[in-house]
Amino acid sequence: MPRISSRTETFTDSVIRRMTRVSLQYGAVNLSQGFPDFEPPKEILNRLAEVAKEDFHQYSITWGAQNFREALAEKQSRLMGRKIDPNSEIVVTCGSTEAMMAAMMTVTDPGDKVIVFSPFYENYGTDAILSGAEPIYVPLIPPEFNFDVDVLEAAFKQKPKALILCNPSNPCGKVFTYEELKIIADLAEKYDTFVITDEVYEHIVYEPNKHIYFSSLPNMQERTISCSSLSKTYSITGWRLGYIIASAEIIDAAKKVHDFLTVGAAAPLQEAAVVGLKFGDKYYKDLQEKYTQKRDLFLKGLDDIGITHTVPQGAYYVLLDISEFGFDSDLEFCETLARDVGVGAVPGSSFFREPVDNLIRLHFAKKEDTLNEALSRLENIRKKIPSRK
């Protein structure tokens, strides 16, 4: 037998998605892979039922259905503070996962370097491997997850092609301030670097924090490739609807990459989602309130149990400190947690470049009943998982 590619030997399957399978195996409340267990907006579901009987069963235009791009351009123009052209400045992708991969392939050549903040969403490391780029990791230092400007500039001095910015950040919940974004913007300009953003949690931000689109900073529009998706905003992670917004020149190249990667996102789902893209401001305000309540409930539950944890400014993840249990492997801890306590989590080591083994990630994008059930199981954590110290 010939050998399979050496490229595929350099990474494992996604630990996040593996933990969903582990949770299913043990019947655990799955707070590992971040997706909701509540329904998407009924307007979108009603439209989906109608679309089944309409003429949307063949390919849409490869870079996205016209009315989807028009509705998206209108929504994002309002938010991003500039007029986005639906024809030349958008590519609709299969989730933000494809958007990020296509963005990487659009701007990097094999051997190019890209800056990645650590902790980071695990796909970025693999995106780099698949596109042949080499990551330079810059730590976000706990507990505030700030970065050291000198360390960041040292990374820029290695002449990276791009910086990847996940804001609000998965897994640490950081929402970058204007001052922090401005430092990144000034360095991107000084060292002539692209910035690829992952802004899928743009609408899940807790007061008083505010999401600032990186492309809206002075002179940044031309060098920013903004990636996002409808998954988290409309609770439709399984629909795989994402997009890239950038200048016409970048989008021209991204369209070609996307065309040969996937041809296009599902046509009927694009059509059904248009109604969501046209929601007014109230929808996003309500979403923010809903997630604020979930965050408060979940964090209070963790406090009552007495587990040290992060307090997210945005997104829907919490990092819990498991040092007291004395495990050498956070992966083994998560397997034990799923099996013996009945709660699914992701080992922190899948997000950090640094040798971190004392953190696990839980998410709270779940119904209150589900969160309460997880919390009541976690109350027994010290009985069910004796400390190995």
Say how many residues touch ligand GLN, by CB under 6 A.
7
Closer residue to ligand GLN, CB minimum distance, 106 or 170 = 170
User: Which of 322, 318, 321 is closest to 333 using CA atoms?
Assistant: 322
DSSP label at residue 237: G
Closer residue to ligand GLN, CB minimum distance, 99 or 152 = 99
Whether the bond between 168 and the residue before it is cis, its omega within 30 degrees of 0, is yes
* Cβ 297 to ligand GLN shortest distance, Å: 20
Angle among Cα 119, 125, 129 to the nearest 5 degrees reads 165
Of the candidates 30, 76, 93, 97, which one interacts with ligand GLN according to CB under 6 A? 97
* Cβ 378 to ligand GLN shortest distance, Å: 19
* Cβ 135 to ligand GLN shortest distance, Å: 18
**Size of the chain in residues:** 389
Is residue 16 part of the contact set for ligand GLN (CB under 6 A)? yes
Is residue 348 part of the contact set for ligand GLN (CB under 6 A)? no
- Contact set for ligand GLN, span 140-199 (CB under 6 A): 170
Residues 373, 384: Cα–Cα separation, whole Å: 16
- Please tell me the number of Cα atoms within 13 Å of 35 on its side-chain side: 15
Structure tokens at 372: 């309460």
Closer residue to ligand GLN, CB minimum distance, 350 or 358 = 350
User: Which of 136, 126, 135, 133 is closest to 111 using CA atoms?
Assistant: 133
Identity of the residue numbered 311:
V
* Cβ 244 to ligand GLN shortest distance, Å: 16
Residues 344, 23: Cα–Cα separation, whole Å: 5
Is residue 17 part of the contact set for ligand GLN (CB under 6 A)? yes
Closer residue to ligand GLN, CB minimum distance, 140 or 185 = 140
Question: Residue 89 in contact with residue 221, Cβ under 8 Å?
Answer: no
Binding letters toward ligand GLN, positions 26-65, x by CB under 6 A: -------xx-------------------------------
Q: Which residues bind ligand GLN (CB under 6 A)?
A: 16-17, 33-34, 97, 121, 170
